Structure 1
Amino acid sequence: MKMSELRSMSEDDLQKKLVEMKEEISNLSFQHKIRPLENTSVLKQLRKDIARINTLFNEN
């Protein structure tokens, strides 16, 4: 996601999105430990999106 998209979202939506992303990265990393994922760049992208949301929280 881009920062402009995240800035347009409300704080409650950001909080929900953050929880969803953390659950998704947890599930994907577990699956990756069992059997290698086809597209491992998804993990990197999720980590970056989580960092972007945390940055917005710290700005406010």
Structure 2
Amino acid sequence: MKPTDIRAKTADELSDSLASLKKEQFNLRFQRATGQMENTARVKQVRRDIARVKTILAEKSAAKKA
């Protein structure tokens, strides 16, 4: 997920995508624990995507307050 794509979304869409990313992260954790994980790099990608979404959500809320 690119930052430009994330910035184009509204706050509600970002909240929805954050929830889906957290669910995916949860599922990946279980896959790793049970040894069923195929793409180990996906864990890092999801973690970084979550950070990107949270950062842009914070920026949007700060801009809204200012």
Q: What TM-score, normalized to structure 1?
A: 0.92
The residue matched to 2:39 in structure 1 has which SS? Answer: coil
Unpaired segments ≥5 residues, structure 1: none
**What is the alpha-carbon distance in structure 2 between the residues aligned to residue 38 and residue 13 of structure 1?**
29
Identity of aligned residues (%): 40
- Compute the displacement of 1:23 (Å): 0.5
Superposition RMSD in Å: 0.9
**Equivalent position amino acid for 1:38 in 2:** E
Between 1:7-16 and 1:27-36, the stretch displaced more is 27-36
- Which structure 2 residue ranges, 5 or more long, are not aligned? 61-66
Structure 2 partner of 1:15: 15
Q: Which runs of 4+ in 1 moved over 6 A?
A: none
Q: What is the TM-score when the length of structure 2 is the normalising length?
A: 0.85
Count of paired positions = 60
